[in-house]
Structure 1
Amino acid sequence: MTGSAPNPARDRDAAAWGELLAASYREIGDRAMRDLPIYNGALGVEAVGFRPFNGTMVGIMVTPWFMNVVMPASAMRETSGATVRIRFPAGDIEFTLGEVGQMGRVASCSLFSPMFEFADMAAARATAEAALAELMLPDDSEEAVRRRAPATSQIDRRNFLRGSLTERRG
């Protein structure tokens, strides 16, 4: 949960749920995905950064065919439709609801699919960790505000006349 004291039991529960979900995706991968053209054989299935969040849990699932932000749908109040919007520190994110094997209903938001831009699990894991950090970065935090600020440069006559401020075309 954001802004609350660490709770090792809740952290373990979230990590355990992520691992159970990863096991379900491993089974799906072995049974149904391995021979499809969207399967990146250089990658495996891994639950990245699962943690408690607002009474439920969230993390990123990396598979050879997708990378999604994932949450259990069972803790959500309104899950009768195909999608649900969840408020994160970084802003509102729309999730698609679906069934995953014996895990039941999950809410997922696609980050990448297919996964061919990742050469190995280290690259996929680093991307997942960075995406989760961004998702948990409050929209009004100093870091988020700094990143949104437009880059400003001094426009002086010399640079303008030299053409260094104009678009370069190749």
Structure 2
Amino acid sequence: MGRNVRKAAFQAPQPSPAQPIAVDPTPLLETMYQRIWATSMRDLPFINPALSVEAVGFRRWQSLTASPLAEDNSPQPSGDPAGRSRPSAQGDWVGALVTPWFINLFVLPGGGNLWSDRPAGARCHIEFPIGPLEFIADHDGSAEIPAYQYCPLFAPPGQFASQTAARAAALAALAALFSNPSPPDTEAPKSAVAKTGASRRAFFRRIAKG
């Protein structure tokens, strides 16, 4: 029977446990993406030349409970399924990054329980006050920040005419992320994927209103 078990053609290796970042990761993240911008992105056709690399709004955040969902909906040791979370001096780092080719939310390891080590390309749903959002893991052992998880907001960010406008959108996204949750849903339970999709739509509506 073992001979008939099918395996995926490629599976990203499980990374080594990420080391918590003890201080504000803004300078490291900006250095990392300024290097990427200078070495491999400048000549691509979808970049927005009005924008530059800037990390905004990074803060520590801690969940009071921990059990997010991975892509296969199995429980994992991080996140906040009840939406109960708070700022914390020992939480993981949450913020946004503006570049000429994207604006994304980031979660970086800080010793809290939002973070869980995942192979590059793996997806997980992390709960915030706004609701669950899907993040994608990435890993580069030689980079200034070897492990991070991101949630795409605008890619490419062609609608922004200036860095000021892009920064404002990133800050509005963070404000929406940490805004008070909606009243509890009294309907029948939905799947994690459906809940994530609804929360993501509400999230982007709040950004648009901002």
* TM-score, normalised with respect to structure 1: 0.70
Post-superposition CA distance 1:33-54 (Å, at most 9, x none): 0000111111100001000111
Cα distance between partner residues in 2 of 1:105 and 1:127: 25
Please list every run of at least 4 consecutive aligned residues from structure 1 whose deviation after the TM superposition is greater than 4 angstroms: none
Q: AA paired with 1:79?
A: R
Which residue number corresponds to residue 129 of structure 1?
171
Give 1:19 deviation, angstroms: 2.2
Q: Is the 8 A contact 1:83 1:94 kept in 2?
A: yes
Which residue number corresponds to residue 68 of structure 2?
none
Which residue number corresponds to residue 158 of structure 1?
none
Q: Is the 8 A contact 2:53 2:97 kept in 1?
A: yes
* TM-score, normalised with respect to structure 2: 0.57
Q: AA paired with 2:100?
A: P
Q: Is the 8 A contact 1:42 1:119 kept in 2?
A: yes
Post-superposition CA distance 1:46-67 (Å, at most 9, x none): 0010001112010000000000
Distance change >3 Å, CA 102–CA 118, structure 1 → 2:
same
The answer to whether the aligner puts 1:108 opposite 2:108 as a matched pair is no
Select the structure of larger CA radius of gyration.
1
Which residue number corresponds to residue 33 of structure 1?
41
Coordinate RMSD, CA, aligned: 2.0
Q: AA paired with 1:84?
A: C
Post-superposition CA distance 1:8-27 (Å, at most 9, x none): xxxx92xx302211110010
Q: Is the 8 A contact 1:38 1:114 kept in 2?
A: yes
Post-superposition CA distance 1:77-105 (Å, at most 9, x none): 35257112111010011100012523111
Q: Percent identity?
A: 40
The answer to whether the aligner puts 1:79 opposite 2:118 as a matched pair is yes
> Could you tell which deviates more after superposition, 70-79 or 113-122?
70-79
Give 1:139 deviation, angstroms: 1.2
Q: Is the 8 A contact 1:74 1:105 kept in 2?
A: no
Match of 2:100 among 60, 64, 67: 64
